[in-house]
Structure 1
């Protein structure tokens, strides 16, 4: 089977259903690529952000939509995407998902064999952490599509999934099931999967993600997106800076004075990774710009790699942006005429979003905004995934740096009326906070 020629879309009119859509990382990616999307999101505040951004949204539980209202989804949707909640699989969590991996693998086999939903649901209730079962939802949606009269029993053409690195083993079994076993109706897919580093796609942050791209057989062999930037490898820099704290003025002066070695790209080679300075130094939109050199101290690791913890300068990519981004302490020179270093302003939500590759002035709304930022798919990374999955040209990083224009009040009201049931509030059909 031949692969799809580069830059030739495999679908005439791609349309995405984004499960566990969060504040809109993958939807922003689709917007920049000209691909429409509908996101399903449980969290109320994330939905408020989505409405403010002008993104089509259903404020709903992914599992409930599949069980109760799948037939109401637009039948033209032909791309399934999602990043199920990762807490039980994350190296930072309690590991219930890792312990349940064998059970999850068994559920995948049973789903592909056509086991009734009611029987599966009863068995899933026995899992120690119910969130573990959510990683099965994309597969259950793929199966449900083939049973949907509204869709004419038509399977999704493309599936795009991303999760924390620990879930790569789940994706491995997804791949085997989709490729070798096939959905209960006989549909099979060509699949590629692996763990990718977001800084190798122009995101100014070290963050690793397990991804899977599947195309319905006959649409060409998918491949993971080609890297556009080099991987962040600064072991020597980490050794010099890992012990830095606020203990001495001289320590900070020494680090501020250090410059990372220049590594110009040769023809045909990926570009150098982007630093925090690359995206935060200049004024853009309402972001005033961070002109002074700065250090960021974090007690949180990056992708489970202890060597990436500690202090980074603005010359490096950010550590993994999580819900704790608002706790990162930023130090900078007091002014340009002295060597005095003091604690500077912490990252605003606008800046935190920019480190995730969200456009400047993205309208973060509701509560727990730092958590929204940390949980999101980096849009630039998501755009590379969608481009590779659909055969589209790679996204332009510059497009992500253009300030986002929020939706008008009229547009927000219309989106909320569709997503929640009324123009100004949630309704009984929306998920209860607990």
Structure 2
């Protein structure tokens, strides 16, 4: 095995530049695929940050940045669900329809990526799933993968040859590497990414291992190019602190300056439904300002009926999904209970034929009416149930990038939650 010693974390020796002279647009597109061809070139002054969005879904993060925060980022999302990808593309966002694990974070088109967003599936952690992620053996395997991700990117710190610290010089891959120059530093990759992911096969649910993509991509981009500057991760609020701390510790080992996490409930930011998630925020060369997540003044509370233009007194039956103290029902005169894909079958308690339209379901999680949900109704409500709420995207990304999000969010919520219907008007409802 040939090792390349690193002077320090994130200075791994960038490969020589690609020779792109004389290439046709078609050839450039082929070299860059599946990423944009312009990503092969360094950004110009004033260009928006390039951002990779993994498990990007139908556009929650994107809408939060573009429509709520009104900030420009050069985002490319990766999403394997064809319906969610089609929805995002119809809304004007870029998607690569692929399994995140099939793409190479060392791709030369990713050299100048500055931001990374990751929202791995949460069913194995959340109450809505079987919570296989809470099994101690699965957690042990996941933490092993975290360690392996560091070994596959930075390797180990090795002291100079004359320090006498190495106790296994006869078999040490570093001491016996003819290319080693004898000085202290990180060894560089000791494992392949396939080897990093191998323990996932021993988990009872492979989706547990997808959380590790946060580190696999963040550490690879840091080690390979050293241009990554910030990271935002969203996950179920049931994700154990043991796992969150494991993520932070590996980032700190890679000389990331700051990595912090906090559970946030979107209802506290004016959303018309409860949506509690944990967000991990990290910065390579700065301290994350967690105080920036707190609005200067309380955000307005928004009842579901207010957001949807419904009359007072409506109670919604969740068909046996017991989410509240009221059992199967919740009052629309308060914020809605957490929206899941099961909203496709929810109805007014006094009128079983009155179910939710897609626009109504999406409004409760912060999307404007008319968002181009694509696919079957089941697929669309699954997308709505899984999506990152756009207001929370604006809060988290705004805080990470030191952009004032509060006024933008207040205007956005006032806009989308201005009732467009009156009780006397007919309501178009998709068949249950």
TM-score relative to the length of structure 1: 0.69
Asked if the contact 1:213/1:222 (under 8 Å) is kept, the reply is: no
Show the counterpart of 2:17: none
Instruction: Give the alignment of 1:3-402 within 5 angstroms.
Output: 13-32=48-67, 33=69, 34-36=71-73, 37-66=75-104, 70-71=106-107, 73-99=109-135, 100-113=138-151, 114=155, 115-116=190-191, 117-148=193-224, 153-169=225-241, 170-179=243-252, 181-182=253-254, 187-217=255-285, 219-223=286-290, 225-228=292-295, 269-281=297-309, 290-291=310-311, 293-298=313-318, 299-302=320-323, 307=325, 309-331=327-349, 341-343=350-352, 345-367=354-376, 368-394=379-405, 395-399=408-412
Cα separation, partners in 2 of 1:157 and 1:12, compared to 1, 3 Å: farther
Shift of 1:112: 2.0
Shift of 1:220: 3.2
Q: Give the Å deviation of 1:109.
A: 2.1
- Structure 1 residue 92: deviation in Å? 2.6
Return 132-141 or 13-22, whichever deviates more: 13-22
2-structure distance, mates of 1:351, 1:318: 12
SS of 2:267's equivalent in the other structure is helix
The answer for unaligned runs of 5 or more in structure 2 is 1-45, 156-189, 417-432
Cα shift at 1:125 = 2.1
Larger Rg: 2
Secondary structure of 1:29 counterpart = helix
CA change 1:360–1:168 in 2 (3 A) is: farther
Q: Is the 8 A contact 1:168 1:194 kept in 2?
A: no
Aligned-partner SS, 1:125:
helix
3-state secondary structure, aligned to 1:396: helix
C-alpha offsets along residues 167-213 of structure 1, whole Å, 9 cap, x if unaligned? Answer: 1422222122222x22xxxx323022021111111111112101111
Asked if the contact 2:303–2:333 (Cα under 8 Å) also holds between the matched residues in 1, the reply is: yes
What is the aligned partner in structure 2 of residue 408 from structure 1? Answer: none
Greater length-normalized contact order (CA 8 Å, ≥ 6 residues apart):
1
When normalised by structure 2's length, the TM-score is: 0.69
Specify the SS of the correspondent of 1:317.
Answer: coil
- Shift of the 45–221 alpha-carbon distance from structure 1 to 2, 3 Å rule, reads closer
Alignment CA distance shift 1:382-1:168 (3 Å): farther
